[in-house]
Structure 1
Amino acid sequence: MRVTFASEAAPGHPNEDFIASTPDALVLLDGAGTPVDSESGCVHGVAWYARSLGSTLLAGMTQGTGTLTEILAEGIKAVASLHDFICDLDHPGSPSATVIMIRRTAGVLDFLVLADSVLVLDVIGAAEPTVVCDKREATVGTPYRAAMDALDTGSSAHVTAHRRYVETLRDHRNRDGGFWIAAVDPLTAEQALTGTVRADQVRAVALLSDGASRLVDRFHLASWRQALGILEESGPDELIRQVREAEHADPAGSRWPRGKTHDNATAAYCLLSGEGFSVRRPEPGAE
């Protein structure tokens, strides 16, 4: 695999994303930020959590033989053990992160997606790429967004509404009928979307945090095919540059209502060699 990636913090904020790779494995995490004046019960913070879990997962993919689901479960358990004696892991705001993992072994590409970061597979012979994203958080959150989206992004009223929105969603996090994200419970790994495809059937793979994927799925300024073209021809930095350009053109969110004017943005492009594959979704009722 030939991997290029870029990660850029939102202006004035720490970067809570994590991206890392080996020749045959790649992991991306997007830490779920804690709004101003909102408690988390953790003294370490979201960036620490994303880096700790991300590095643990990469080690697990390169050193172990378990499934990606098993590696994620063990990783969540291991990181929880690093701070359960210091932090309140029962707190509803305990640090969490989305997860994408891909691993190539013996000509096979395995992948896992948990929460709303986006995996894009450029399948050889397919007119359109296949997009894998867990949309359960967006589905759960839609009824609660109206008050926040009606306000100018970045205004004091919007900041308050965003905090309330995030804290409301905590009541739906990692429970039946809600959405799932890596935090403290290893059983969460069983809710991830997983799949396998022959590596020679995939030309390239893109991994995007939602701060980078917003060029397509929130701003609608490019298609997934066009995003792959940007990544291949100009690299991840250019895709992020276009995201920032759009954000600066709409600072108040009047055209594109959103929780954050700017978000941490991470993009990775993995060129393989080159139809079908399947995505395992949790059984109905397993949520």
Structure 2
Amino acid sequence: MRTELVSEPGDPGRPNEDFASVGLPASGQGGSLVLLDGVTPPPGDVGCLHSVAWFSARLGGSLTELSVTRRDLPLAEILSVAIRRTAEVHAASCDLSHPRTPQATVVVARWSAELVEYLVLSDSALLVESPTGEVTPVLDNRLDLVPRAWLATDAIADATVRNKEGGFFTAAADPSVAARAVTGVLPRAEVRALAALTDGATRWVEKFEEGGWGDLFTLVRKEGAQALVDRVRTLERDDAESRVRLRRSKTHDDATVVFVEY
């Protein structure tokens, strides 16, 4: 098995708000990957004493543990338990009802000798490659349906669509959001490799349109995850003046890639 993990902050002067891990049971049978993209809040009060990076690390660590040790639980239930655990740690000190309380997008995949399970919540991506080389993206596209102008400039409008019916959902403090995730199960024989990516890495496809999902997967397999991040950084630097046209709220973003090949 080949595994590869690269995570690079968008700004070296700020903490990386992404989280990624690959978990392997002591038995050596199967494994899991976890990827989170912490949501950077706008300036101002968010009702919490803790940073987004702290939240991502807490939630990601719990997801990693549970995905390995509680193989009897489906991934949506594991996400629910992990969110509840994380909320309990800071419920006494923070306002977890605030719409900008620390939160993150989530990708979890877990495999055994027979099955591959997956879960995607919000705009991080999971790519699944078949034995014949066909690449299928697993995406939660609800955020794409929300006008970007609302999210960028209007905190009131943002509060009406964030973790609300008719809007989009992220992992924050409400365990019930796990039921909103995109989930599924595939026969292990139909999966040759997986790639999980935060939107700082998917920019190569979704913003810069350098190729499709299959092209991105081929790049990661042949040249490595770091090569993808390096190419994204080059494109960002070359296009720094046009980031508004490309719908990028910031020139660089935290970029994380996890690649697993069986």
Q: TM-score, normalised by structure 2?
A: 0.92
Question: Are 1:8 and 2:15 an aligned pair?
Answer: no
Deviations for 1:74-122, whole angstroms, at most 9, x for unmatched residues? 0000100000001111111101100000111242110000010000111
What is the rounded CA distance, in whole Å, between the counterparts of 1:229 and 1:166 in structure 2? 39
> SS at 2:173's partner residue?
coil
User: What corresponds to 1:70 in structure 2?
Assistant: 77
Gaps of 5+ in 1: 146-161, 273-287
Equivalences for residues 107-146 of structure 1 within 5 A: 107-125=114-132, 128-142=134-148, 144=150
* Offset, 1:135: 1.1
User: What corresponds to 1:215 in structure 2?
Assistant: 204
> SS at 2:192's partner residue?
strand
> SS at 2:10's partner residue?
coil
Equivalences for residues 140-219 of structure 1 within 5 A: 140-142=146-148, 144=150, 162=152, 164-165=153-154, 168-219=157-208
* Offset, 1:234: 1.2
Pick from 58, 62, 70 the counterpart of residue 64 of structure 2. Answer: 58
What is the rounded CA distance, in whole Å, between the counterparts of 1:104 and 1:66 in structure 2? 13
* Offset, 1:203: 1.3
User: What corresponds to 1:271 in structure 2?
Assistant: 261
What is the rounded CA distance, in whole Å, between the counterparts of 1:239 and 1:165 in structure 2? 33
* Offset, 1:42: 0.8
Gaps of 5+ in 2: 25-30
What is the rounded CA distance, in whole Å, between the counterparts of 1:34 and 1:199 in structure 2? 38
Cα pair distance change 1:18/1:43, threshold 3 Å:
same
User: What corresponds to 1:105 in structure 2?
Assistant: 112
Amino acid at match of 2:249: G
Deviations for 1:108-143, whole angstroms, at most 9, x for unmatched residues? 1100000100001111236x4111111111211346
Amino acid at match of 1:97: A
Deviations for 1:15-63, whole angstroms, at most 9, x for unmatched residues? 100001123111000000112x222111111101111000001100111
What is the rounded CA distance, in whole Å, between the counterparts of 2:22 and 2:103 in structure 1? 21
* Offset, 1:70: 0.5
* Offset, 1:167: 5.8
Deviations for 1:217-269, whole angstroms, at most 9, x for unmatched residues? 11101221111111111111110000000000011226523111110000111
User: What corresponds to 2:94 in structure 1?
Assistant: 87
User: What corresponds to 2:18 in structure 1?
Assistant: 17
Amino acid at match of 2:5: F
Amino acid at match of 1:6: V
Cα pair distance change 1:232/1:54, threshold 3 Å:
same
What is the rounded CA distance, in whole Å, between the counterparts of 2:49 and 2:8 in structure 1? 24
Pick from 232, 242, 257 the counterpart of residue 231 of structure 2. Answer: 242
Q: TM-score, normalised by structure 1?
A: 0.84
Cα pair distance change 1:95/1:257, threshold 3 Å:
same
Question: Are 1:258 and 2:248 an aligned pair?
Answer: yes
What is the rounded CA distance, in whole Å, between the counterparts of 2:128 and 2:156 in structure 1? 33
* Offset, 1:13: 2.6
User: What corresponds to 2:218 in structure 1?
Assistant: 229
What is the rounded CA distance, in whole Å, between the counterparts of 1:142 and 1:61 in structure 2? 33
User: What corresponds to 1:156 in structure 2?
Assistant: none
Count of aligned positions:
253
User: What corresponds to 1:41 in structure 2?
Assistant: 47
RMSD: 1.6
Residue identity over aligned pairs, in percent, reads 38
Task: Report the more deviating stretch, 176-185 or 165-174.
Answer: 165-174
Cα pair distance change 1:44/1:143, threshold 3 Å:
closer
Amino acid at match of 1:223: G
> SS at 1:112's partner residue?
strand
What is the rounded CA distance, in whole Å, between the counterparts of 2:214 and 2:145 in structure 1? 24
